[in-house]
Amino acid sequence: MELDKFSYDNGIVRKFLIASVVFGIVGMLVGLTAALELVFPELNAGIEFITFGRIRPLHTNAIIFAFVGNGIFTGVYYSLQRLLKTRMWSDTLSNINFWGWQLIILAAAITLPLGITTSKEYAELEWPIDIAIALIWVVFGLNMIMTIIKRRERHIYVAIWFYLATFVTVAILHIFNSFELPVTLFKSYSWYAGVQDALVQWWYGHNAVAFFLTTPYLGLMYYFVPKAANRPVYSYRLSIIHFWALIFIYIWAGPHHLLYTALPDWAQSLGVVFSIMLIAPSWGGMLNGLLTLRGAWDKVRDDAVLKFMVVAITCYGMSTFEGPMMSLKSVNAISHFTDWTIAHVHIGGLGWNGFLTFGMLYFLIPKMWNTKLYSTKLANFHFWIGTLGIIFYAIPLYWAGFTQSLMWKEFTAEGMLAYPNFLETVTQILPMYAMRAFGGTLYIIGVFVMVYNLLATAKTGVFVKNEEAEAAPLTSVYKAHAGEYWHRVLERKPLVMTVLAVVAVSIGGLIEIVPTALVKSNIPTISSVKPYTPLELEGRDLYIREGCNNCHSQMVRPFRSETARYGEYSKAGEFVYDHPFLWGSKRTGPDLAREGSSKLRKSDSWHYNHMLDPRTMSPGSIMPPYPWMFEDDLDVDNTNAKIAAMRTLGVPYPDGYEDGQAMADLDAQRQQIADGLAAEKYTISKEKEIIALIAYLQRLGRDIETEPIAQQ
Amino acid sequence: MKTNTFFRKSAVAFMALLITAAPQAAWANTTLVKSTGISDESLLVVLTVFAGFQLLAILIIANVIKGIAANKQIWQARWNKTAAAIATLILVGASGQLMATDAKFDSLVSLNDTAFLALITLNLFLLLAFIYLVVKLNSLFKMLIQDEEGKVPESWIDKVNVMLTDAVPIDQEEDVMTDHEYDGIRELDNNLPPWWLYGFYLSIVVAILYSGYYIVGSGPSSAQEYLAEMDEAETAKTAFMATQTYTVDENNVELLTDAASLAAGAKIFKLNCTPCHAETGGSMPGGVGPNLTDEYWINGGAVTDIFRTIKYGVPAKGMVSWEAQLSPSKIQQVASYIKSLRGSNPANAKEPQGDLYEEETAASEEAPAETPADSTTTSTTEAATGEITMVD
């Protein structure tokens, strides 16, 4: 048969590869900065753009979407062409994919430090960027599917099943979680409120981990591990079972991020059971990866690529076992809101994603530059310092998590909290935070060594931009082998497979989200819960802008240790006007759900001093100061538009409230707060942002209290 | 079948080691929650069980060695210095283990965290030593039972491995090779590892039972769990309070004047009160809280008033409630300390606020006060003009 001659596009792979490395370094350095800010709270030197609350989302977005995202594209563009024996369908689309994605990253790098954020974790980017992400993602998917259609390989390999599932699921997750009502070009409110918003967000957040950090990387593992080890994949049937089980089960597990919150109990329980069932499908991937190395373990000793991949797969196995354990309610009661979670995700991030990416880079660069790795010694050094970095990162944070959680929960015999002052539980773990930053430093040093090694490697070779290849075209008729496995049929019909993947990932989401949104009994209403005043609403938007939710939860869980510390546990009905919800996922500082309640209430002047310099009011605190909120005037240009938008979303502001009355109310309230502060000798203009923030903080938790608080 | 016996014995020894690890873990937990009220008795039980298992492990390993020694032929043929070294190691390890166990019982009287950590570390180390010994023994035995051609029989680890993965051996893997080939990648079609498959089934069964109990059945909701937890805490608290002869509240609180109580009060003050009231208690001009060293009180200056203010707070004024944070006796100590600051006249204090308070004792013993303690007429401005005289 006549062989087609064609070439593989290595140019696009190189572009994504460089972007992944560059943004990886940026993202890790931002992460290191954030880690150091917890140890040295004034490290930001009064610069608002680099406070912890603003760069923490920058770090997560940079790592997930820029480092790993570009890593996905690198691996997919390289392997897809070869697995299908064809060049990418359209070089133009490939380049639109590349440049579009980098522009999105650029937009993120600009907007997040400016405080332009939706506050929803890993979905912080505002609506115009959300639209851009959706478009570019579709460009990627279209290019991939068209490439599959014009393939020269009859069946599609397991790596591509994972790529397809990744494409469709991320599209679904991103679109549904990003339903938001724009107020201005840079401000929108989530379509969903309170409990529903939390459920949709964690359906997304959990599955961003599943379908952005896991499934595409499993696809990469299925390509690069057998290639690097030169061994056959261990078990084809294991691939089939764990693929379908994984994508079907993963999608249900989101509610395990919301255990013991105001989410209805049935949804929490569903999150738990599907998390338990998730162990085996996850480990199926680990087993297939590790057992592929059977008979090649002697190579692991010498080959840097395999070394990195073995640790990556092992870390994958560890964190996918730990994840379900943390989803058990009794374990979650201890682990949630602590650094345990941070340690857990970094086993995945540094170990699985980081090391698999590094392994892939050490494989790709000698291949595409047609040369040998410059220095095995340096690669080995990178491997060991990176592994040490992971250990030094994770162990102190596990220790910090256990320590802090046990301190939060300890009571004296008299029935009092043993550590009633939250700060005691923070200062206790500061040495662990310092150790974590050290671990992160080791890891980054390793990356720099890798960059040097890879650059030196590239220098010794010549880049092959278009790699010549030839293969026979597919015949129009195909006769199936006798006795072939039923799944082979699907592998010949990638579009059918894609549709089935959509079905598999839609079921869990639908069953959990639709009833929570539609069945009234899931969110019992509380009549005393009222919409925020215009000033409080503006204050809330400042809280979002500063990323306060990155360190402060607003969710008192139904535990004695929490009600003793914070007051009545949070009820679903309290959040019905919260677009978006601000429950948070980590308590670096105390919970603020009831900050304004009579139990916890501080004076306006306390907040004034605390925001200006937290350590005057809370000696030893690791919160940064917020001096700019005392200098900048509150932007009230859009207050009326915000009120109108909120009404559209179902918040019962009276009709026409935004035509004058809202501003009058806002002005009266801030006058009152400024007057109160003045009486205590704190002179500040009512126009300043801090006044709105104080108004919001003092409102928190007030609604369900019957006693009014006397005006000062 | 000497060989099989040996393998079985080493497997048992290994299991025994794993079992000893469990109490170790429990023990570590005990350390973490010790201060929450694990009694010394239960600790003793845990330690005894633990010691028992460790002894058992030692005996089993000793028995294994005896087994090797009993195989006279091999013993005489292959006996070498390695075996002697290993036997010595075992003895050292075992005696160390026993010594460690003794140490635990001795120190039970006053177990502190450092001792706990040291013992845990020591025991973990010993556990590692055990595992090391078993592995060494195993390889020693392999060496001893090589047949004439020098071929080593399959070890139990290999067997377990095969049992767990159900994999086709590498030299026969062409039998399960599929005809798939993608860019040079081929695929085997090994069976699903049995432990994985049955683990998956098990997790599904657990999931169904869990859903049955919590979603359909009578499993407690998180709200019910909370109520149960609170009931339990209340019961425990009541039981504890019954053992206390004297409980302080805002009605019966008395001023403490002994140095120890005041020192304790000072400590509490420094930890909790200084941000708003300054180290001196005098706050500062523009400070958040009022001056606690002068004669003027916004919410009353009697020890009962101060106790009440601390306990319940004054939300409207930003004074936080400390009821959940400080026990009544601690509130009494800090209130007494605050009273002791009266008249200390610290530098840079805040101007007086509230009403003049005159000590009751002074008022009753001498003459009726010019201004009643609860007067609302004495204003801050009057105070500032210096009209007030010290009564006591």
Is B99 within a domain? yes
Three-state SS at B320: coil
Is A381 within a domain? yes
CA distance A65 to A107: 12
Is B126 within a domain? yes
Residues A450 and A545 in one domain: no
Is B104 within a domain? yes
Contacts A416 to B, Cβ<8 Å:
324-327
The mean pLDDT of A72-80, rounded to a whole number, is 97
CA distance A273 to A259: 12
| Greater pLDDT, B266 or A476 | B266
pLDDT higher than 50, residue B382? no
Q: Which of B167, B315, B325 sits opposite A291 (nearest CB)?
A: B167
Residues B88 and B209 in one domain: no
A403 Cβ partners below 8 Å, 6+ apart? A425, A428, A429, A432
Question: How many distinct structural domains can be found in chain A?
Answer: 2
The mean pLDDT of A619-628, rounded to a whole number, is 94
User: What length is written for chain B?
Assistant: 392
Categorise residue B342: left if φ over 0, alpha if ψ from -120 to 50, beta otherwise. beta
Three-state SS at A197: helix
Nearest 5°: CA angle at A359, between A354 and A364?
A: 125
CA distance B245 to chain A (A): 13
CA distance B268 to B338: 11
Is B183 within a domain? yes
Residue contact B327–A416, C-beta within 8 A: yes
Residues A497 and A618 in one domain: no
Residues B223 and B155 in one domain: no
Is B392 within a domain? no
Residues B100 and B131 in one domain: yes
Residues A364 and A496 in one domain: yes
Residues A493 and A552 in one domain: no
Nearest CA in chain A to B244: A414
Residues B56 and B107 in one domain: yes
Supply the CATH number for residue B276's domain.
Answer: 1.10.760.10
Print the SS3 string covering A522-575.
Answer: HCCCCCCCCCCCHHHHHHHHHHHHCCHHHCCCCCCCCCHHHHHHHCCCCCHHHH
pTM metric for this prediction: 0.81
Contacts B205 to A, Cβ<8 Å:
none
CA distance A35 to A31: 6
Q: Provide the pLDDT for residue B30.
A: 45
Residues A281 and A352 in one domain: yes
Residues B284 and B329 in one domain: yes
Of the ranges A141-155, A215-229, B124-138, which one carries the lowest mean pLDDT score?
B124-138
pLDDT higher than 50, residue B1? no
Residues B146 and B232 in one domain: no
Q: Provide the pLDDT for residue B352.
A: 86
Question: How many distinct structural domains can be found in chain B?
Answer: 3
Supply the CATH number for residue A311's domain.
Answer: 1.20.210.10
The mean pLDDT of B240-251, rounded to a whole number, is 81
Contacts A284 to B, Cβ<8 Å:
196
> β-pairing, B296-297 with A187-190?
unpaired
Q: Provide the pLDDT for residue A414.
A: 82
Residues B112 and B43 in one domain: yes
Residues B300 and B380 in one domain: yes
Of A512, A546, A574, the residue that ends a domain is: A512
CA distance A686 to A672: 9
Q: CA B270 from chain center: how many Å?
A: 27
Of the ranges A3-17, A49-63, A343-357, A591-605, which one carries the lowest mean pLDDT score?
A591-605
Contacts B230 to A, Cβ<8 Å:
560, 563
CA distance A699 to chain B (A): 13
Residue contact B210–A237, C-beta within 8 A: no
CA distance A639 to A658: 8
Residue contact B203–A420, C-beta within 8 A: no
Is B145 within a domain? yes
Q: Which domain holds residue A283?
A: 4-470+486-512
Of the ranges A130-144, A356-370, A487-501, B321-335, which one carries the lowest mean pLDDT score?
B321-335
Contacts A411 to B, Cβ<8 Å:
36, 233
Q: Which domain holds residue B293?
A: 259-384
Residues A585 and A664 in one domain: yes
Residues B184 and B275 in one domain: no
Supply the CATH number for residue A569's domain.
Answer: 1.10.760.10
Per the structure block, which two tokens stand in for B372? 């009643």
Name the strand (E) or helix (H) holding A190.
Answer: strand A187-190
CA distance A114 to A664: 29
Nearest CA in chain A to B319: A602
Looking at every residue in chain B, the average pLDDT score rounds to 71
Nearest CA in chain B to A564: B324
Is A526 within a domain? no
Residue contact B276–A295, C-beta within 8 A: no
pLDDT higher than 80, residue B319? yes
CA distance A405 to A422: 11
Contacts B203 to A, Cβ<8 Å:
276-277, 279-280
Residue contact A268–B222, C-beta within 8 A: yes
pLDDT higher than 80, residue B79? no
Q: Provide the pLDDT for residue B41.
A: 52
pLDDT tens column, A231-253: 999 999 999 999 999 999 999 99
Residues A89 and A208 in one domain: yes
Residues A283 and A238 in one domain: yes
Is B391 within a domain? no
Per the structure block, which two tokens stand in for B66? 């005896």
Q: Provide the pLDDT for residue B254.
A: 87
- How many Cβ atoms sit within 10 Å of the Cβ of residue A443? 24
Residues A544 and A506 in one domain: no
Residue contact B182–A287, C-beta within 8 A: no
Contacts B188 to A, Cβ<8 Å:
232-236
User: What length is written for chain A?
Assistant: 712
Tell me the CA distances in angstroms from A484 to A136, A526, B182, B272, one per residue in order. 38, 61, 17, 74
Is B366 within a domain? yes
Among residues A597, A602, A569, A567, the alpha carbon closest in space to that of A701 is found at A597
pLDDT tens column, A110-168: 999 999 999 999 999 999 999 999 999 999 999 999 999 999 999 999 999 999 999 99
Residues A497 and A631 in one domain: no
Residues A52 and A141 in one domain: yes
Residues B6 and B135 in one domain: yes
CA distance B92 to B70: 22
Residues A502 and A586 in one domain: no
Residues B75 and B134 in one domain: yes
> β-pairing, A187-190 with A466-471?
unpaired
| Greater pLDDT, B384 or A557 | A557
Residues B308 and B379 in one domain: yes
pLDDT higher than 80, residue A189? yes
One-letter amino acid of A247: I
Is A481 within a domain? no
Q: Provide the pLDDT for residue B69.
A: 56
